[in-house]
Amino acid sequence: MLELLNKNEILRYLGYRQNGLNQRIEELLERCMDETRRICQGKYIYRRFPVVFTDQGVEIPGTGICMTGKDIRDHLESCRDVYLLCATAGVELDKRIRRWMITEPDAGVVLDACGIQAVEQIADMAEREIEKAVQAEGKNITWRFSPGYGDMPLELQRDFIRVLDTYRKIGVSLSESFLMIPSKSVTAVIGVADTARDKRKNKCDHCNNRDNCSFRKRGTIC
């Protein structure tokens, strides 16, 4: 599934600039990218649901899900339907990162950054499929909004993976502290809107760490 990795994005996660690399870092990065492509087990699942806006939040009838918070309500204000999405880079990458963190800490850190980029690309693949299907209806999609962004509770991940049946279908579960297992996994909601997609808005507008974000200080986003 995963043929390419964005080197610039990986360097951004690591805090490097392309022109600041030495030969050792360059070789380490290439090695970790090759390893990520080799063992990545990219999978994703998504389903479409209608939504209803209530005083309690944005509800998905029949699922028990109520997405609370002003940010997600604003994000989905023009939507009548949403897609719930889960994507993962797989358990083998997690195992390799843990092993290298012990045996080769430098390589472990770089491999971890490669894993972050890998799961983002896998989620992007799913999003492109969703966008294509929605555009065939003459509609548009919002950008991905994940539990934990803005004032949307992280605990909603539990409901997302329950409704999507992610453990049985793509091997993704959740820890007691609501962290994804494998760790290089993401959940998100994508709205289906009749209006044009607003590319000016992004998740930075709703992030609780906006004022202290190291990515924004470097002129980029996470």
Candidates 206, 163, 204, 210; CA nearest to 187 is: 163
Q: Tell me, rounded to whole angstroms, the distance of Cα 217 from its chain centroid.
A: 21
Residues 22, 106 contacting (CB under 8 angstroms): no
**pLDDT tens string for the chain (222 positions)?**
666 788 889 988 888 766 667 888 889 999 999 999 999 999 999 999 999 999 999 999 999 999 999 999 999 998 999 999 999 999 999 999 999 999 999 999 999 999 999 999 999 999 999 999 999 999 999 999 999 999 999 999 999 999 999 999 999 999 998 899 999 999 999 999 987 655 435 555 545 445 544 444 333 444
User: Which residues have CB under 8 Å from 200's CB, separation 6+?
Assistant: none
Q: What are phi and psi of 168, to 5 degrees?
A: -75, -35
Residues 28, 107 contacting (CB under 8 angstroms): yes
Question: What's the CA gap between 215 and 15, in Å, rounded?
Answer: 8
Edge-first strand order for the sheet with 140-141 is 43-50, 79-88, 185-193, 140-141
Vertex 192 angle, CA 186 and 197, to 5°: 95
Question: What's the CA gap between 189 and 32, in Å, rounded?
Answer: 30
What integer pLDDT is reported at residue 62 of this predicted model? 95
Residues 11, 17 contacting (CB under 8 angstroms): yes
What integer pLDDT is reported at residue 24 of this predicted model? 87
